[in-house]
Amino acid sequence: MSGTSVASRILVVDDDPLNILIIKDILEKIHILEYANSGEEALEKLKVFPADIILLDVMMDDMDGYEVVRQVRKLYSENYIKVILLSAKVNVNDRLEGYKSGADDYLTKPFEDEELLAKINVFIKLKYTQDQLRKSNDHLDNLNNNLEEQIEIRTNQLLEAEKLSSIGKYAAGIVHNLNNPLAAIMGYSQLLEDAQEIKGNPKLDERLKRIINSGNMMKKIISTILDKSKNDSNIVETEVDLNGVLNTLIELKNADTFFKNKVELSMELTDIPSVMGVYVHFSQSLGNIIDNCVDAMYGREIKKLRIASKCIENNIIIEIEDSGCGIPKENLERIYDPFFSTKTMNNEEYDRPTGTGLGMASCRQMLEAYNGNIGIQSEVDKGTMFTIILPVENES
């Protein structure tokens, strides 16, 4: 913005055609001009012509210049349009009336060409500065809004992490206390294994083996949680057969009379490659999802559970689908929130599912550690399908 004159958009308003011709002769080689012969016409022109400056005659028949200025300030208060009144009136009161109406300057007729050009150049620079300042303020407002949004997101993330950290500490303490009763269960189970009454009864012997297998699995889960609470690097990864995990989970689930007697199970497992990881991470996450599916079918007339596995390209896909109550849309967005659950934590009815809301949160956390993700499709009163996708690492 330098030089003696700067191109701009100027609306010339005068009911005398001769005055318009004079101004046109002075300005048309430098500026973009538009013309109006009355105040009403000027207001209409402004709807389509974004003027930087209005050169406005004061004495017009339909609407005088003062009223036009007031209307412009009312309709275009944020546009910083500069208004220069042009008039043969030289009385101080007339000038003051012009400034009072909202005009930026007052130029008496007749005027010198250089004076008009100089005033226009000054006001164009002023308008440019104001426009740039407004853009900067808008930009700062956007930055401020984005910053506030980012702060809120980050604060929520930190609160979530703190909440999960607290959960982990409490869980580690609780899990540690499970070791003693588990040791008693395993000890008595091993004593029963040697009892003649058990050895002579194949049915009881099979049930006892299932109890011991479940106890050993619980022991691994406790050990993994305690190791993780101390140091993630203590955990050793091995090859995990996910089909084997699913079969073991269903075998253990058959100890639940509701599942064994009421749920119609369909297993559609195909050959899939093993994955490197911690066995209990997969047994816990897949087990939690299966438990949720089974819980969703309590009280439903149709109780069907479908579990499928397949490998497409470089991804293992596991589908776990139920015919349960479904998940409302508003709850789908919160299903991974710690402590959010559609089930009550304490239920007076003996044989009804309860929950804390920690299951799905831990499922996602464990699977994401292997670059996996969980997709959920659900329809109320029809059922839910969980789709677990795990990438397969290419062998080198």
DSSP string for residues in 137-170? HHHHHHHHHHHHHHHHHHHHHHHHHHHHHHHHHH
In a domain, 76, yes or no: yes
Is residue 385 located within the same domain as residue 256?
Answer: yes
Whether residue 391 is preceded by a cis peptide bond, meaning omega within 30 degrees of 0, is no
Write the CATH number for 88.
3.40.50.2300
The closest alpha carbon to 258, from 297, 222, 316, belongs to 297
Q: Beta 238-240 vs 32-36: how paired, if at all?
A: unpaired
Pick from 234, 251, 284: which residue ends a domain? 234
Q: In sequence order, what DSSP letters do the residues of 183-245 get, joined into one string?
A: HHHHHHHHHHHT-HHHHT-HHHHHHHHHHHHHHHHHHHHHHHHHHHHH-GGGPPPEEE-HHHH
Specify the number of domains making up the chain: 3
- The CA-based dihedral angle spanning residues 66, 71, 74, 77, taken in that order and rounded to the nearest 10 degrees: -80
Residues 151, 98: one domain? no
CB 269 within 8 A of CB 308: yes
208 and 64 inside one domain: no
Same domain, 206 and 78: no
* pTM for the model: 0.48
Burial 219-228 (b: 16+ CB within 10 A, else e): bebbebbeeb
Which pLDDT does position 350 carry in this prediction?
A: 43
Of 203, 234, 265, the residue at which a domain comes to its end is 234
Q: Are residues 81 and 155 in the same domain?
A: no
Task: Check residue 231 and give its pLDDT.
Answer: 46
d(CA 235, CA 315): 24
| Domain span at 167 | 147-234
Any domain includes 259: yes
Task: Give pLDDT tens digits along the chain (396 positions).
Answer: 544 455 789 999 999 999 999 999 999 888 999 999 999 999 999 999 999 999 999 998 889 999 999 999 999 877 788 999 998 888 888 889 989 999 999 998 888 889 999 899 888 888 888 888 888 887 887 887 787 788 877 777 776 666 656 555 555 555 555 766 777 787 777 778 777 777 778 888 788 888 888 788 777 777 666 555 444 545 578 899 999 999 989 988 887 888 989 999 999 999 999 999 888 889 888 988 998 899 999 889 999 999 999 999 899 999 999 999 998 988 887 887 766 666 554 544 445 555 544 568 778 888 888 999 999 999 999 999 999 999 987 554
Cβ neighbours around 392 below 10 Å, total: 16
Does residue 270 fall inside a structural domain?
yes
Q: Is 171 helix (H, G, I), strand (E, B) or coil?
A: helix
Pairing state of beta strands 383-391 and 315-322? antiparallel
Let me know whether 344 and 378 are in one domain.
yes
**How many residues can be counted in the chain?**
396
Nearest to 227 by CA among 158, 279, 288, 157: 279
Asked whether residue 101 falls in the same domain as residue 196, the answer is no
